[in-house]
Structure 1
Amino acid sequence: MSSACTFLLTFLVSVLCGLTCGQLAQNLTPLDIGVRCAQYPRTPTVLTFVVDQPDANLLLLHFDFVKLMPQDTLTLRAVVNHTVGAVIDTLTSATTAPFYSVPMYTLLVVLELHVVMGLGRSGPANATTRCFGFHVDGVRTSAIDGNKAASADESICGTDDSKNAQCFVNSAMYTASKAVVRLLTNRVGGSAFCTGWLLGCEGHLLTNEHCIQDATDAGNTLIEFMAEGVSCGTNCDSQMACAATPRLYTRGATFIAASTELDYSIVKLDPAMIPEGLG
């Protein structure tokens, strides 16, 4: 084995041994928000819906149905300090449910259904007989801070000399750090935050087995790229902090292999969904 490969394996093992299980979010709080088949607009319009959870730490919406007409979109915007922010997530006619939205650290989210033609205009020939709409059936509103809870089981291989990626911006180490991704795996009982690493140029990703255990986990994982502080001194010591602007992410992966004993998992992303220059 070459020295480069030996270094890579040593690096990955040393990082993996310091990871802990992701923090589990609460079960879903039931919601009933959306547009049912008979309610889908017949003319161009924009419909607005609000999810307001005043006691939330985050909002993670669960969609159990999404079927939009061609050209129509459903956008999600976080409201912070009474200001509606930029679009965080956009659903299209290619979007299929069930799935979870991108997690948003806010108390209030605005959903906007943008209808371009409507059922009453020159849409698909069978548009009036098909079911279009969307439905949000629940939301997760908090995530457990597992730092203190997991500290007894957490260990670091050697001295903890970790720093923000921006501290090494002019080095080869910074270029290599772009392969690090943030994961959010959504399960029936909760959602777990974890870390992964892109390997090679074909979309392979390495993480822990406790993060992605099987094909179901792989399909329900959100992969976020380039989550790093804007400066060397930026505080990123919290879940979902320091996201890229705009946020760079993709949903779902193909499960390849995993080992409970060695606590590793390998999945494969669509290479076309990985931002250029990463991996």
Structure 2
Amino acid sequence: MRLPRSVATTPLIAFALSATLALLSALLVAAPAEAKQPRRIGQVGSEDCYNLALFVSLDDEQVERAAAMLPREFTLTSEPTLLVESSTCARATVNGRAIGRFHLSEAALSIEQPRELSSAQMSETAPESIFMLSQLDTNKRLSRFKKRAGYRSEVTRIEIDLGNPLLPRTATASAGGRIAPSSVSVTLSPQLTPTGLTAPNPGIVYKLWTVDRRGRVVGTTNSNRELGNAAVGYGTVTVEKGTTLHRLLGSTTASGYSISGSAAGFTNDTYRFRD
């Protein structure tokens, strides 16, 4: 599940776009529907998802370090952001195999779209591309699929607490592991939409990019449906010294704006490019 990046930005999901902000997002030119797709190598589908996403605007020194982390083909957006997002879904399928409830935690940089790639699930009005620094999971099957596709993934402890959605609240998320351990604390508004009220995704599709061990570009289209429970806020991410996020940020903490929301579910289609 993903949320709009701070430049307009997920995903940063970076998965449930809040219904209110999704409807207000600026429309971007979508990739042509008839564009030739690379080979699809897998699909993940989920149901009943919630998220907490934090967007950190990068200063000049952080932008320089972020650019150095990207493979040659990838370029940061004009106003780059770091997305740190945690999500939970009640159930999912990984290439047709059912799994139960899972949590995930991701870190990503906002980039320009490097290759032609469009969603097979919906028409796009506002595509957003992010380069995945990490994809952490609580489910072994899900993590194994991501790792084999080329993403930096591991199974670890992930915890999410969104608090009481009817009140101003503190929402938290944390992830362990070796790749990108982090903790996020956010002061969130009460939800901005009534409980049970959802809106169709207006066409915001996230593209999750990486490069596999053989140097092949891999992209995943993240298509969310029926968005709701929108909330906004401001918070801080804390990272461990010596990790990728610490090297990027140049410190153990960074602050930014936050969005939380729900989605009836999402479909992630993962593709591998041949060249």
TM-score range, shorter chain: under 0.3
- In the superposition, the TM-score normalised over structure 2's length comes to 0.24
In our comparison, the structure showing a higher alpha carbon Rg is 1
Q: With CA pairs under 8 Å and 6+ residues apart, which has the higher RCO, 1 or 2?
A: 2
Larger strand proportion of the pair:
2
- In the superposition, the TM-score normalised over structure 1's length comes to 0.24
